[in-house]
Amino acid sequence: MVRLPLTPAEVERGQRLGALLRRARGERSMLLTALDAGVSPETLRKIESGRVATPAFPTIAAIADVLGLSLDAVWSEINHSDDVARLAPSERRLAS
């Protein structure tokens, strides 16, 4: 199967997701977080670094659960900038 290149928006969303998970993990070990979520540490590292911009939903759900994040919070965080980008410049200042 040929995978289409990611759009700049998808790459940016993946970077926001990675940053969110890193912040939520805090001082918690990447290894323990990954094992508790049932994913490989390499997978978690790639997601956190933004190298996997479109991870599978069950993977994100498992990691979010381990970190105590609701999926609503994850969705809101990673899509907030997309919503702001669609606003007129004067509206962007109010949304930030």
53 vs 42, which has greater pLDDT? 42
pLDDT in tens, 51-93: 888 899 999 999 999 999 999 999 999 987 554 445 455 544 5
C-beta atoms surrounding 75 within 10 Å: 13
The domain locations on the chain are 8-95
Q: What is the pLDDT of residue 81?
A: 58
- Dist CA 26 CA 96 (whole Å): 24
Would you identify the CATH topology of the domain 8-95?
434 Repressor (Amino-terminal Domain) (1.10.260)
Contact 34, 40 (CB under 8 A): yes
Q: Indicate the DSSP class of residue 88.
A: -
Contact 21, 39 (CB under 8 A): no
Contact 20, 74 (CB under 8 A): yes
pLDDT in tens, 2-33: 878 889 999 999 999 999 999 999 999 999 99
- Dist CA 37 CA 76 (whole Å): 21
